[in-house]
Structure 1
Amino acid sequence: MNIDTPLALLGNLTPRTFMQRYWQRKPLVIRQAIPDFKPSLSMAEIKQLARRDEVESRLIWRDGDSWKMKNGPFNRLPAARGDNWTLLAQSVDLHDDATAELMHRFRFISDARLDDAMISIASDGGGVGPHFDSYDVFLLQAHGQRRWRISSQKDLALTPGLPLKILENFRAEHEYTLNPGDMLYLPPHIAHDGVAIGDCMTISIGFRAPSLATLAQGMLDAASDQIMAGLDDGRSAQASGVLPGPSLRNTFHDAGAPATATPAYLPDALVTAACKAAQKIHFNETLATRFLGQWLTELSPQAYFEPSSPHIDLRSDTPPGRLQLDRCTRLMYRKRQLFINGEALALPASKALRELADARSLRLDPRRRNSLSHDEQAVLTGWLQEGWLHHIDD
């Protein structure tokens, strides 16, 4: 993607300009971001998704002044003619190729931030109440109309005693009615309330926003895992981010310690040894890359793979066409490190594999196959057999 080419998706802004002016800064209404947009799934098909065990879904409705919520899967859903209900289907990109392709149109933002595509359908008056999100979101109107009221208010106190996070004192500052193809971008902590006008479908492209506490805990867990696995010795020090040396592998010893008349007192030597052991760990770029690469490519529990080319072996075959990552596959890299579906690969991130990660597709012809190393051919063949990768005839 050329980040300096204007996109209708961004109101004819370039991705570079959008990221500089709006991303995590201020809302943006984009009229006809996708002209004449038609959703790939009907409202009836979204209801069918919500009946499936592997699809995370929620039903939200109002009963007088009270908000109600129920988690799926659902055997029964409200009648289409009923008012004030909303059905949410999470991570539809894992279940529908066209929705995944729609989500990938937003890859001018790093895959490390891109999360999922949620689809909500609603009857007249349906919504989830005034609330705020802690992450960025693009709200694409797919069917019918939705009226959005938004506010940059600082008071984000929630109404107590509800199953939903509803703002207690919502004060709208702007109001917009979105038609199919229109889109609203909201940065984190912008209060908003969307209400369906008649039957309505909205597609939400959401982004990951891990807390700093989550990142710190992940680093600690990664260091702990590597130490417990014995990766703190000299052989694996560079890969693990842990200093070499035998001290972390040895047990605490205190030969010559005096007898004590205060046995409940925590020994100074043990406290000092614990501090010195922790100082042996380097929380560096290598450790962070490994933790983030595995965590951010970790598969959703709803991910499902079905091999479409189980008999292709790139070590001997060169079928014409291209290799295409499955919609559920997450492939990322940093420098020479390569990560796929929660795994860190020993295979370095070559130019071809980086191209596959960035484009999610790789042209395959005899010249390209011959340029791949034997290890690359073997790895790609394995991904084909797992269903992580598919061969597409052009």
Structure 2
Amino acid sequence: MYQFQFSLAEFMATHWHQSPTVIRQGLADFDDPIEPEEVAGLAMEEDIDSRLVTQADGKWQVANGPFEHFDDFPETHAQLVVQAANHWHLGVRELADAFTSLPQWLFDDVMVCYSQPQGGVGPHIDQYDVFIVQGQGRRRWRVGPKGDYQEANLDTGLKQITGFDAIIDVVLEPGDILYIPPGFPHEGDTLEPSLSYSIGYRSPKARELLSSYADQVIVDEAGDNHFHWPAMSAQPDAPAALDPQHLAQMDEMMMALMHDETRKKRWIGEFLSQARHELDLLSPDPQWQPDSLKAAMQDGLCLEKLSGLRAFYHADQPEMVFMLGESFDLPEGCESLTPKLCNQRFVDWETLGKAADNSLFWPMLTLWVNRGYWYPLEEAPE
């Protein structure tokens, strides 16, 4: 089990969204959760996002997976990248669990990189927060200040820039963590065969929020009313002028939609819980029935939440649960279960509490299990 060896509260107050920093032995006595051969195996899977970044004679190339084999994997200037490895590998999921105290609606994924000497993706800028955990091997990292930088190699999709002056220049050892906020240029260079893990946190853009909410208003068929003002007067001297009073009234029409808290809270929960990467969803065969699931859990069956499942709730409205872009209204009396469902990894009979006695709850839980959101464990965790 991975545990921070630093104060998360002090880190958040000092560095989060503010400044990059190096946390030496942030995860002390670090053991890699995955082997290089397993990284290669994931990169050969159809549903897993992967890419191989190479550089030869100053020319960058990116090949996207899935890959058939790695018989000719370069000995230098190469980096194999697997996105959302925590969705597909139990060990990487355990590493992700160390970071669950941070707001999970921001969490994106754990990207695993296997790098050969001098391998990397070049100097680049990301618009998300990232914790880079060094595994086996050593990598040199340089981080620069925010600023205006010239883009480079646009055809590769690597978001590269021509270069920067470093404010951090450090070699990471196993267990070291480098935190980089959005907008800070950085570059990793591999000194010896190396594994590293990027735990990313991505926030939505304002225009994404606005566009998504507008789509929700349309789906709900809300705001289907025209501008109407019986007090309107004629404008004989300036009929083409836009009257500020008219514009203010239209602004009120739009703001009335924006201030619909009921609609907005349901929309934001559904929006933020949408899947960002492919999930290892497996539907059980045969499908569970509510009675059989209840009986099995009474007999000790434990359920484990699917890795990468985005399950959220409003603290002041726990009767609603949001999962993968959908909202679910829990039966009355089951609200106390919501924080456990969303915050905990495992659910057993004791966890269910009063919800276990509610006949309306079991069809809902059965639906989630049959969709693969939770899956039965052969043995309950210790």
TM-score bracket, normalised by the shorter chain, equals 0.7 to 0.9
Return the alpha-carbon distance in structure 2 between the equivalents of residues 75 and 305 of structure 1: 23
Q: TM-score, normalised by structure 2?
A: 0.82
Provide the rounded CA distance (Å) in 2 between the counterparts of 1:370 and 1:49: 38
Q: Does 1:342 find its partner at 2:325?
A: yes
Structure 1 equivalent of residue 311 of structure 2: 331
Return closer, same or farther for 1:170/1:387 CA change in 2, 3 Å cut-off. same
Is 1:165 the counterpart of 2:159 in the alignment?
Answer: yes
The answer on whether the counterparts of 1:219 and 1:283 sit within 8 Å (CA) in structure 2 is no
Q: For the residues of structure 1 that align with 2:56 and 2:97, how far apart are their CA atoms? A: 38
Q: Distance in 2 between matches of 1:133 and 1:42?
A: 27
1:89 to 67, 75, 82: 82
Q: Is the 2:131–2:177 contact (alpha carbons within 8 Å) kept by the matching residues of 1?
A: yes
Letter in 2 for 1:281: L
Q: Which moved more, 1:94-103 or 1:189-198?
A: 94-103
Structure 1's consecutive aligned runs of 4 or more residues displaced over 6 angstroms after TM superposition are 271-277
Matched, 1:304 2:298: no
Matching residue's letter, 1:18: F
Give the direction of change, closer, same or farther, for the CA distance of 1:196–1:299 in structure 2 (3 Å limit): same
1:389 aligns with 2:374: yes
Q: Does structure 1 residue 175 correspond to structure 2 residue 169? A: yes
Counterpart of 1:68, as a letter, is Q
In the superposition, relative to structure 1, how do residues 49 and 332 fare at CA in structure 2: closer, same or farther (>3 Å)?
Answer: same
**8 Å CA contact retained: 1:139, 1:203:** yes
- CA-CA distance at 1:124 after TM superposition: 0.6
- Find the counterpart in structure 2 of residue 146 from structure 1: 139
Distance 1:77 1:23, change over 3 A: same
| Mapped pair 1:101 → 2:94 | yes
Residue 52 (str. 1) matches residue 11 (str. 2): no
Q: Secondary structure at the match of 2:191?
A: strand
| Aligned partner of 1:213 among 201, 207, 211 | 207
CA distance in 2, matches of 1:302, 1:367: 29
TM-score, normalization by structure 1? 0.80
**1:162–1:172 distance in 2 versus 1, CA, 3 Å:** farther
1:289 correspondence with 2:265: yes
Distance 1:95 1:281, change over 3 A: same
Counterpart contact for 1:153–1:171, Cα < 8 Å: no
Q: d(CA) in 2 for partners of 1:16 and 1:22?
A: 10
8 Å Cα contact 1:61-1:68 kept in structure 2: yes
Deviation of 1:275 after TM superposition, in Å, equals 8.0
1:37 pairs with 2:30:
yes
> In structure 1, the residue corresponding to 2:136 is in which secondary structure?
strand
- Confirm or deny: 8 A CA contact 2:340 2:351 kept in the other structure: no
Q: What code does the residue aligned with 2:335 have? A: S
Alignment of 1:199 with 2:193, yes or no, is: yes
Q: Which has the higher contact order (CA 8 A, sep 6+)?
A: 2
Aligned to 1:74: 67
1:306 Cα deviation from its structure 2 partner: 2.1
What are the Cα deviations for residues 34-58 of structure 1, in whole angstroms up to 9, with x where unaligned? Answer: 2232223211111121122111111
Offset at residue 352 of structure 1 (A) = 1.1
Change (3 A) 1:378 1:67: same
Identify the match of residue 319 of structure 1 among 268, 281, 299: 299
SS in 2 for 1:198: coil
Q: Distance in 2 between matches of 1:222 and 1:367?
A: 33
Give the C-alpha shift of residue 327 in structure 1: 1.2
Letter in 2 for 1:331: A
The 3 A distance-change label for structure 1 pair 83 and 282 is closer
Q: Which amino acid aligns with 1:120?
A: C
Query: Structure 1 stretches of 5 or more lacking a match?
Result: 1-6, 233-241, 243-247, 254-264
Q: Give the Cα–Cα distance (whole angstroms) in 1 for the partners of residues 40 and 3 of structure 2.
A: 30
SS at match of 2:304: strand
Superposed CA deviations along residues 218-275 of structure 1, whole A, max 9, x for unmatched, are 1111111111xxxx4xxxxxxxxx6xxxxx27x999xxxxxxxxxxx9xx9xx99998
Q: Unmatched 5+ residue regions in structure 2?
A: 229-239
Q: Equivalent of 1:189, from 178, 183, 189?
A: 183
**Partner of 2:341 in structure 1?**
356
The whole-number CA distance in structure 1 between the counterparts of 2:309 and 2:14 is 31
CA distance in structure 1 between the partners assigned to 2:210 and 2:27 by the alignment: 39
Q: 1:134 aligns with which of 119, 127, 132?
A: 127
Greater shift, 35-44 or 183-192, is seen at 35-44
Q: How much does 1:153 deviate?
A: 4.1
Q: Report deviation, 1:104.
A: 2.4
* Alpha-carbon contact 1:326-1:389 (below 8 Å) kept: yes
SS of corresponding position for 1:144: coil
Q: Percent identity?
A: 26
1:378 equivalenced with 2:344 (yes/no): no
Give the Cα separation in 1 of the matches to 2:251 and 2:17. 39
8 Å Cα contact 1:323/1:364 also seen in 2: no
Q: Distance in 1 between matches of 2:368 and 2:75?
A: 46
SS of corresponding position for 1:49: helix
Partner of 2:353: 368
Q: 2:58 aligned with 1:65, yes or no?
A: yes
User: Any conservation in 1 of the 2:130–2:201 contact (CA below 8 Å)?
Assistant: yes
